[in-house]
Structure 1
Amino acid sequence: MTKEQYRVLAINPGSTSTKASIFENDAEVWKTNVVHAPEELAGFETIGDQGPFRRDAILAAIDEAGLDAQNFDAVVGVGGVGLAGVPYGTYGVNETMLDDATSGKYASHPNNLGVIIAHEIAATCGAQAMAAGMASSEEFQEVAHVGGFAQTPRRCCVHMLNTKEVALRHAAAQGKSYKDLNLVIAHVGGGITVAAHRKGMVVDGTDGVDQEGPMTPNRPGTVRLVSFMKLIAGLTPAEQKKLVSTQGGFMSHLGTSDALEVKRMIAEGDEYARLVYDALLYQVAGWIGHMAAVLKGEVDGVILTGGLMNDEYAAAYITEMVSWIAPVSVYPGELEGEALAAAALRVLRGEEELLEYTGVPVWSGFDHLKRA
């Protein structure tokens, strides 16, 4: 390999699978999605304990493909929601980051394992360990942080990795810079978030972890609070967490979180399944309108992305509701592996600085505004 050609391994853990891709410069030469059976993951007491298991699964998949698992210039993992709310960018993995990811200091989620696995694989081959696509990155305008209770400030927790990459590519296709555009971007997949991007910054957005925004295939999204209090009365904290994390949305209404199964039900004439499916899309469109208001109506484009946008019906339903705001562009699926590799390559090529993770959030509350 010469300095004109770089080899990058991208790691992206999810709730029940771990995705990995190998890139030689911008070309993806191999990818896998290792699915972990529920009974395998159930044997681990904490999410952090899953690290070695998932790492070894990826290394085994690379070996089975007959590929070299040692010759990497960089190993890049997705920056999980358990990291501090730092500015968006590409970071070197350091001890502070590993401590935060392992402890789940800010949030516990399987994507915290991305930087841990990247660090461990990089250490075996002398590669740089990086974190990119920080889900916890903080770009909100201050007014967007104010929640309905003083104790519940809103936070920036959208699908940063995919939506930022889609925004960059969309802008380039328009012959413009992402930093010149105002966009509303909805990531509509297994998880759903809607965000307002103003001149390259996510200034407001729904929270994909704390259940704000549209319902998803297995999460409730924003719900009527008093009714919800009655619903969870008598449940243990663990039962409450399971309810809001896995038992909402399609799962609550239809007994499945599989969108393809819901589409099958609709095809067989299930009118309630159609209503619930449409309701999810209806809610996404409503939140797009909300974010258009955040941008004061100055919207250059609405972007729909994520796995559910592979369904032409779903994309058309939302488009019909929001096309009055701005032109709608659809980018089905996700570009997460590509986004991780692109971030690492920009650093390797000297186009972008590798940032240092301090573990100190850039936004920490409103104390500076309060009178003594």
Structure 2
Amino acid sequence: MDFKILVINPGSTSTKISLFVNKKELFQKSQFHDAPVLLQFPHVNGQVPFRYQVILDMLKEEGVDPSDIDVFVGRGGSACTQPSGVTIIDQKLYDDTEAAVGGSEHAAKLGVMLAWRFAQNYHKPAYTLNPTNVDEYCDYARLTGIRGLYRTPHSHVLNPKAVAEAHAESIGKRYEDCNFIVGHIDGGVTVSTHYHGKMIDGTMGADGDGPFAPTRIGSVPVLELLDYLETHPLDDVRRMCSRSGGFVSLFGTSNSDTVHALVEQGDKKATLVWNTMIYQICKSIGEMSAVLCGKVDAILLTGGLMRFDDITEGIKERCGWIAPIYVYPGEMEQEAMAFPVLKVLRGEAEAITYSGKNVWQGFEGMDL
């Protein structure tokens, strides 16, 4: 039996869709959204009608009737933390995603919300896979110096895991037998540690952690941020963590092509900002190499910004001594969502039902 699978992949600067028939991708379409367009919506949830119409328009351009699609698959995030794997989108997952009970407002959450809306409107099933809130952290990655305050995984998961699995296969190994550092470098930037098939640590890009990016502030000293908050609204700072920081704050645009064009023209400000972003990515890679005690099989670089060769060269210059570096420009997210769902549809694998509870329930027997 053939299954038509629509993959919905909203990012911080784009909406991407792919239509598959089984494993054959019939088409892939993407629309870039500059920050001023998306910042018209005070809250991420407010983008749902806008992005829903964008998807309808793209399907119409391809002559596709949504009612002919068998299943809708969307990126996810913002709910309670979840295990990796295919998860059924149901009312509980939709509600928790909409309410961001997991504490992170990332555009990936729109994938669940859009897939659910399509599924409800056309009476079809919906799934998500490896959302931004997958929790495979080791305990050392959770604890902070404030009692009762923990680091909760909010990161790129879908593409880093797909790239890591693909690279392991390319060298004749299993993902579960390898140690990788994966840098997802796009509108948001995260660097994650993959130890024997688990993402045991990583930067939390939409939470004010790690390198700054086209739409994100990255790590900022706490006292400096508290001083900043004395004269700036809290909601503005929250938006800057995931939507209006980084290039948007510094240049008024999230368009990396615009900023890089200035770099090529020798603009001093653009050059400083661009090279600082690379510098901060390298710092995070070095940090994650320490997590693996220096036993790193490869550093894998992926995401839309890897179309710029100077990012690769900058990382090789500072981090090439750690491990071999491999570049996977763009991402593998579309097939990474479609193929596992196809296995579920064929009865070859089972999907997870969202529990509504965090994977990690605290340090047992310890007052932390």
Same fold (TM over 0.5): yes
| 1:320-344 deviation line (CA, Å, top 9, x unaligned) | 2112111111001122222211221
The 1-side partners of 2:43 and 2:221 are apart by 31
Moved more, 60-69 or 335-344: 60-69
Matches within 5 A, 1:230-269: 230-269=227-266
Shift of the alpha carbon at 1:258?
Answer: 2.7
- Which residue in 2 is equivalent to 1:284? 281
* Residue 241 of structure 1: how far off its partner (Å): 2.4
**Larger displacement relative to structure 2 (242-251 or 35-44):** 35-44
| Matched ranges for 1:13-162 at <5 A | 13-15=10-12, 17-34=14-31, 46-80=43-77, 82-106=78-102, 107-162=104-159
Give % identity. 37
Secondary structure of 2:84's aligned partner: coil
| CA–CA separation in structure 1 for the residues paired with 2:144 and 2:10 | 30
Q: Does 1:358 align with 2:355?
A: yes
The Cα of 1:246 is off from its aligned counterpart by 4.5
Cα distance change, pair 15–300 in 1 and its aligned pair in 2 (3 A): closer
Task: Find out whether 1:202 has 2:199 as its counterpart.
Answer: yes
Deviations 1:172-195 (A, max 9, x none): 111111111110001111100001
User: Residue 37 and residue 250 in structure 1: after superposition, are their counterparts in 2 closer, same or farther (change >3 A)?
Assistant: closer
* 2:189 corresponds to 1:192: yes
Q: 1: distance between equivalents of 2:149 and 2:76? A: 23
Answer whether contact 1:133 1:339 (CA < 8 A) is retained.
no
Q: Unaligned regions of 5+ residues in structure 1, if any?
A: none
List structure 1 segments (4+ residues) > 6 angstroms apart after TM superposition: 37-40
Cα distance in 2 between the residues matched to 1:232 and 1:270:
31
8 Å CA contact 2:4, 2:71 repeated in 1: yes
Computed over aligned residues only, the root mean square deviation of the Cα atoms, in angstroms, reads: 2.4
Contact 2:108 2:131 (C-alpha < 8 Å) held by counterparts: no
| Secondary structure, counterpart of 1:110 in structure 2 | coil
Partner of 1:169: 166
Q: What amino acid is aligned across from residue 104 of structure 1 in structure 2? A: A
- Structure 1 residues 167 and 114: alpha-carbon distance in aligned structure 2, compared to 1, 3 A threshold: same
Query: Which consecutive unaligned segments of at least 5 residues does structure 2 have?
Result: none
C-alpha contact (below 8 Å) 2:206/2:216 kept by paired residues: no
User: Given the two structures, how large is their TM-score scaled by the length of structure 1?
Assistant: 0.90
Cα distance between partner residues in 1 of 2:116 and 2:244: 34
CA distance in 1, matches of 2:262, 2:45: 37
120 and 24 in structure 1: CA distance in 2 versus 1, 3 angstrom threshold: same
* Cα displacement (A) at 1:247: 4.8
CA deviation profile, 1:123-152 (whole Å, cap 9, x unmatched):
444432111121101100111101232243
Counterparts in 2 of 1:218-229, with a 5 A limit? 218-229=215-226
Question: TM-score under structure 2 normalisation?
Answer: 0.91
Equivalenced residue count is 367
What are the Cα deviations for residues 225-244 of structure 1, in whole angstroms up to 9, with x where unaligned? 22222223222222332444
**Deviations 1:84-122 (CA, angstroms, capped at 9, x unpaired):** 111111011112101102222223333222122212323
Query: Which string of whole-angstrom CA distances, capped at 9 and with x for unpartnered residues, describes residues 304-362 of structure 1?
Result: 11111111111111012112111111001122222211221232233321111111111
Deviation at 1:365, TM superposition (A): 2.7
Give the deviation of 1:40 after TM superposition: 7.3
Secondary structure of 2:302 counterpart: strand
Q: Is the 8 A contact 2:35 2:243 kept in 1?
A: no
In the TM superposition, what is the alpha-carbon distance from 1:259 to its structure 2 partner? 2.2
Separation in 1, partners of 2:131, 2:89: 12
Equivalent residue in structure 1 for 2:267, among 270, 295, 308: 270
Deviates more, 1:145-154 or 1:187-196: 145-154
